[in-house]
Amino acid sequence: MSGDRDFIRQVQGYGLMTAEISYYMPDHPGLLQLFVWQEYDLAPRFPVLHRFLDHWRTDIEAAIHSVRIAHQHLIRPAEWRAVDGVITIN
């Protein structure tokens, strides 16, 4: 199941990476296009993204102009704060 694989990757330190790839086709260099891609990856090295970009450079005609990356760990230590006071539950 994909969900099990995704959960295991998150426990291993992977976070959700979103890449916005700006590219153009060689026959239309004045037309910049966008491709948005999400995958679990390890920051800050991003090995999954690098493999994808290597594949793009060798097997896809489109030329990469730029890549913007956002990354978020989905599993992380819980946040908590101390609260002064008394809470009464009846």
Residue at 54 is within a domain? yes
Give 80's pLDDT tier (boundaries 50, 70, 90). Answer: low
Q: Is residue 86 part of a domain?
A: no
- For residue 43, the 8-state DSSP code is T
In a domain, 89, yes or no: no
| Domain annotation covers residue 26 | yes
Report the percentage of the chain scoring pLDDT > 70: 80
Instruction: Show the domain range for 27.
Output: 2-72
Residue 88 domain-assigned?
A: no
Lowest-confidence range among 9-18, 28-37, 38-47, 58-67? 9-18
- pLDDT band for 83, please (50, 70, 90 cuts): low
Total of domains in the chain: 1
pTM above 0.85, yes or no: no
Q: What's the mean per-residue pLDDT of the chain? A: 86
Q: Is residue 24 part of a domain?
A: yes
Does 77 fall in a domain?
no
If pLDDT is split at 50, 70 and 90, which confidence band does 4 have? confident
- Is residue 90 situated within a structural domain? no
Asked whether residue 86 carries a pLDDT value surpassing 80, the answer given is: no
In Å, what is the CA distance from 44 to each residue of 14, 17, 69, 75?
10, 11, 10, 16
